[in-house]
Structure 1
């Protein structure tokens, strides 16, 4: 399998540059964990800061792959904040052309409900999903109604098999270990004419993956990685081993030996509302001082 994964990276990295002008970019439309920021029911200082007007709202993690020539946009994740994220596309003159899903946790697919007849009433919006995710949507309401009413058209993805968009950009899913109650979980490798992006918003601890993160980071131009929690003890009274995301501190330690240029590829994303690095803080300053980055809403990666 590792050989297959290596061949996948190499095949996508070898994408031909057919035009001098680059028509592709990737925009960040959200950086928070599934529930966004602030989170419902949170009475801690982290979310109280929002209600006091001290911190801005942060939308749930979402990316948009943009084709500047055709004005088409493909979302990565259908979040509970999809109305704002589609509005952002509308404001920029882009038309929603499809949605890529990673897995069946609420922050990553629940926004599909806005495509139904009670809201947008869309027609055959392509929704790209892995086999278990596709079956989950087909066989469980209210999602199944989106299928039966042709609001969405499900497109089955295959592990490590790249899909080509508009003859140029390539998108390839790859399985990652996570809490798979209803579906498998994938990250995505996204390739434009000139640059490539690794997108892993959710994963268990890095050591449970079949690949060495440092090796994969070295093969891409940007790596957007799960930063749900900053460090152990962030959730007082809860056993954080039961929520097996990699701590931001663990990821930085794992990649500590990388050269400065390689570290700068890493952009943390998918911050829980409790993660102090979500906003300006000593913890965020620590991330930046170590040579890593934090995404911001509206940030654009040219591909």
Structure 2
């Protein structure tokens, strides 16, 4: 009897989650962590020990789902190493009313947390047919010319759709515009995305070196959208004890906060930090999260819905 009651409670909770989803286009955060996820491979620090011991604390690599409930279509942003779990989670949390595979996948750049999930679409796993993958030119060339990714193209598992920076494309009743940002571009350029739905404008920049290196003004860009999901890899420059943080440049959360310190509360509230390294206390410390919110800023939570 207890087992039946638990099962009914679980099913009710799952259906309630799906039942509360909006009937207009929305975005779900399927992951919020940096490329290595949380906990991080090889990490024996207290920040990871907590997550190894408590599965509920674990977070997946940064990824978004753009969902059109009217036409029952959806698009994925980033093909992460956690893509198998993320697609299954999306399927269950949306009550199986959408196709298992997205209409297409938008990818920012060729660092492992953002594109290596594409391997799951090859002949060894799903052997998909012409799954659309939207890429800027250098990333497109990288996948076409280098194995094992080139085999996905050769076997028509994926159909690469070339993007032009700053040129919007239409997907259902939404527009998506890729733009370039400065980052460690070893194999490709790095994109950010502006997503415009019928009700909201979003900015998605999970990776960038420094705001000062960008040819656009981040304050202006934030003011022009409703929600800005921005790079929060590191909170401070003391997080990497055994590596020079300059080797992996990102705008520190503390720097972004300082940059926006003179802006209005309405502007600050638009900023949602995302792409947290396992060392960033915003990922696992309730105290740090509350302190950030007290300053007027937000952070993306896994499974958070935006509409």
**Alignment TM-score, normalising by the size of structure 2:** 0.89
Pairing of 1:1-303 with structure 2 (within 5 A): 23-53=24-54, 56-91=57-92, 92=94, 93=96, 94-95=98-99, 96-166=102-172, 168-302=173-307
Deviation at 1:31, TM superposition (A): 0.1
In the alignment, is the contact (CA less than 8 A) between 1:73 and 1:89 conserved in 2?
no
Distance change >3 Å, CA 114–CA 32, structure 1 → 2? same
In the alignment of these two chains, the number of paired residues is 281
Deviation at 1:55, TM superposition (A): 5.8
Gaps (5+ residues) in structure 1?
Answer: 1-20
Q: Report Cα offsets for 1:148-201 as digits up to 9, x if no partner.
A: 1111000000000000012x2000000000000000001000000121000000
Q: Secondary structure at the match of 2:64?
A: strand
In the alignment, is the contact (CA less than 8 A) between 2:142 and 2:187 conserved in 1?
yes
Gaps (5+ residues) in structure 2?
Answer: 1-21
Deviation at 1:235, TM superposition (A): 0.8
Deviation at 1:89, TM superposition (A): 2.4
**Structure 1 stretches of at least 4 aligned residues deviating more than 6 Å after TM superposition:** none
Deviation at 1:42, TM superposition (A): 1.0
State the alpha-carbon separation in 2 of the partners of residues 54 and 64 from structure 1.
23
- Please provide the CA RMSD for this pair: 1.3
Deviation at 1:57, TM superposition (A): 1.0
In the alignment, is the contact (CA less than 8 A) between 1:125 and 1:153 conserved in 2?
yes
Q: Secondary structure at the match of 1:193?
A: coil
State the alpha-carbon separation in 2 of the partners of residues 247 and 292 from structure 1.
14
Of residues 125-134 and 229-238 in structure 1, the stretch that sits farther from structure 2 once superposed is 229-238
